[in-house]
Homo-oligomer: A and B are copies of this chain.
């Protein structure tokens, strides 16, 4: 079956694997599900089962030029990626504001801090101050181990790095202070089970 875009052009399968690359790490969409895909499926499951309302925010784009062709959809012909000033995911769970960033790393034993931005760390500090729940989810691709770590820890590493401290968080820190997230078929990455233990 041929699927069409709203503008009448045929849907090209390869387009769906497009991913914005952050930092210098390349995410190989075809080598299995990415963390982002897994989280999207998980969040959809949470919504469908009415457990939580959490979404990934759209990628921020600077639009420069748009064509408005007759009888078809507006087409953006020039645009650029912008850096996000907040985290990628937020929503509500058990009456609480939830906010997190998710990152995948190909390094076996650490994740470089350059995977995050100063604005995001600042944002997470604000969320904490205002009574929200903030954390990061980090997947070590080689092992598929995926951890939840409270945003306070990221902020500590971040601040220390600014005064000469190490520029990455070691995996053993996640092992000791974070929480390994159970993975299954559905929900794929059941991070709310960890949120229940850690924040409630």
Q: A residues touching B (Cβ–Cβ < 8 Å)?
A: 5-7, 12, 15, 18, 47, 50, 52-53, 55, 57-66, 73-81, 85-86, 90-97, 99, 123, 126-127, 129-132
Contact = CB atoms under 8 A, between A and B. Distances in A.
Nearest to A12: B64
The quantity of this chain's copies bound in the complex is: 2
B79 A76 contact: yes
A59 B62 CA distance: 10
17 contacts: A7-B80, A53-B126, A53-B127, A55-B86, A58-B58, A58-B60, A58-B61, A59-B63, A61-B61, A61-B79, A73-B81, A74-B80, A74-B81, A75-B80, A92-B99, A92-B132, A97-B97
Nearest to A83: B6
A126 B47 contact: yes
A168 to B, nearest CB: 25
Nearest to A7: B80
Q: Nearest 8 CB-CB pairs, A to B? A: A95-B131, A76-B79, A58-B60, A92-B97, A97-B97, A58-B58, A92-B132, A92-B130
Contacts of A73: 80-81
Contacts of A94: 130-131
A93 B130 CA distance: 7
Given A53-B123, A61-B61, A92-B130, A76 B74 contact: no
Nearest to A68: B21
Nearest to A73: B80
Contact of A79 (B47, B60, B79): B79
Contacts of A64: 5, 12, 15
Given A5-B62, A74-B81, A77-B77, 18 more contacts: A18-B63, A50-B126, A50-B129, A53-B127, A57-B57, A58-B58, A58-B60, A61-B76, A75-B78, A76-B80, A77-B78, A90-B90, A92-B97, A92-B130, A94-B131, A95-B97, A95-B130, A97-B97
